[in-house]
């Protein structure tokens, strides 16, 4: 398998993060610096900064109610990184990102293939947020947010936006542009003062306290895997 796939399958980090490690010269295969398209098998010795990686069949899946101020990175050189904050007994990595200034649901796992499918499926996976802005908004704002907003050279996909109160709305996205909601609100002259993610696909934050984590239930994991398998089958048919 390709080196980035191997690293992800080991639970060290995501495939995208693995590619950055290879590019930085932090990865060796049998003592030789790895390249972007290097191939490995189970007999090869893969090291990242001197740490030997091993594939494991035991996979863990947890969700964290991330507090504001925690950064979604596994780099131990970053103060307030999510891995040290969770302090899980096994090496996990976050599936995607949630801005340092934002709070709420994020999935962490050591299952690289599952993480890859969640992040890179062409089927837009729903992510739901509760957002508070700095001043009251009207129906025109809600309509504009839901119809699509220009961010650089991109028009955001249409989405569902509903009012919670005079300064707070609920939004369901199926794409993940960098700081998307904040940029969408800014386009209409609003500043986001609080952003909380409460759902990813079938996984709900519910009453999990800020700063706490829990394992996915068997039912949650089964539903997640089934949805990903169904999407994969549909992609293959197309």
In a domain? residue 122: no
57 pLDDT band, cuts 50/70/90, is confident
Whether the per-residue pLDDT at 59 is higher than 70: the answer is yes
CA dihedral of 180, 9, 75, 218, whole degrees rounded to 10:
70
Share of the chain above pLDDT 90, in %: 66
pLDDT on residue 52: 87
Whether the per-residue pLDDT at 122 is higher than 60: the answer is no
pLDDT on residue 121: 59
pLDDT on residue 140: 97
Q: What gap in Å lies between CA 57 and CA 111, rounded to an integer?
A: 9
Number of domains the chain is built from: 3
In a domain? residue 7: yes
The string of pLDDT tens digits covering residues 6-51 is: 888 887 888 888 899 999 999 999 999 999 999 998 788 999 988 8
In a domain? residue 138: yes
Pair 210, 67: CB distance under 8 Å? yes
Which residues are designated catalytic? 99
Do 107 and 214 belong together in one domain? Answer: yes
In a domain? residue 48: yes
Rounded to the nearest integer, the mean pLDDT of the chain is 91
47: part of which helix (H) or strand (E)? Answer: strand 46-48
Buried b (16+ CB within 10 A) or exposed e, 196-227: bbbbbbbbebeebeeeebeebeeebbeebeeb
Do 66 and 46 belong together in one domain? Answer: no
189-204 average pLDDT score:
97
Whether the per-residue pLDDT at 238 is higher than 70: the answer is no
Q: What gap in Å lies between CA 119 and CA 106, rounded to an integer?
A: 12
Do 46 and 14 belong together in one domain? Answer: yes
The CATH number linked to 220 is: 3.30.70.580
1 pLDDT band, cuts 50/70/90, is confident
pLDDT on residue 141: 97
CA 102 to chain CA centroid, Å, is 13
Number of Cβ atoms within 10 Å of the Cβ of 137: 20
**Full residue range of the structural domain in which residue 20 is found:** 3-52
For 81-218, list the strands marked E by DSSP.
Answer: 93-94, 103-109, 127-133, 150-151, 154-155, 160-165, 168-173, 192-200, 203-204, 213-215
The string of pLDDT tens digits covering residues 150-191 is: 998 999 999 999 999 999 999 999 988 889 999 999 999 999
Q: What gap in Å lies between CA 163 and CA 169, rounded to an integer?
A: 4
| Helix residue ranges, H only, 75-135 | 82-86, 112-120
Whether the per-residue pLDDT at 77 is higher than 90: the answer is no
């Amino acid at each position: 398998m390709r080196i980035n796939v191997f690293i992800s399958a080991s639970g060290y980090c995501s495939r995208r993060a693995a590619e950055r490690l290879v590019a930085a010269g932090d990865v060796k295969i049998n003592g030789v610096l790895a390249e972007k398209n290097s191939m490995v098998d189970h007999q090869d010795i893969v090291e990242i900064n001197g740490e030997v990686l091993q594939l494991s069949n035991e996979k863990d899946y947890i969700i964290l109610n991330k507090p504001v101020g925690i950064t979604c990175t596994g780099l131990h050189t970053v103060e307030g990184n999510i891995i040290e904050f969770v302090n899980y007994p096994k090496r996990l990595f976050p599936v995607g990102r949630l801005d340092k200034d934002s709070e709420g649901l994020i999935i962490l796992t050591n299952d690289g293939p599952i993480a890859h499918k969640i992040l890179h499926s062409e089927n837009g996976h729903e992510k739901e947020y509760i957002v508070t802005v700095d001043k009251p908004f009207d129906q025109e704002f809600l309509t504009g947010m839901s119809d699509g907003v220009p961010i650089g050279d991109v028009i955001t996909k249409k989405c569902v936006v509903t009012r919670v109160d005079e300064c707070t709305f609920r939004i369901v996205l199926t794409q993940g542009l960098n700081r998307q909601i904040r940029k969408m609100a800014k386009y209409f002259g609003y500043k986001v003062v609080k952003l909380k993610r409460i759902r990813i696909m079938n996984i709900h934050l519910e009453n999990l306290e800020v700063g706490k984590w829990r394992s996915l239930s068997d039912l949650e994991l089964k539903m997640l895997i089934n949805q990903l398998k169904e999407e994969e089958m549909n992609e293959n048919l197309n």
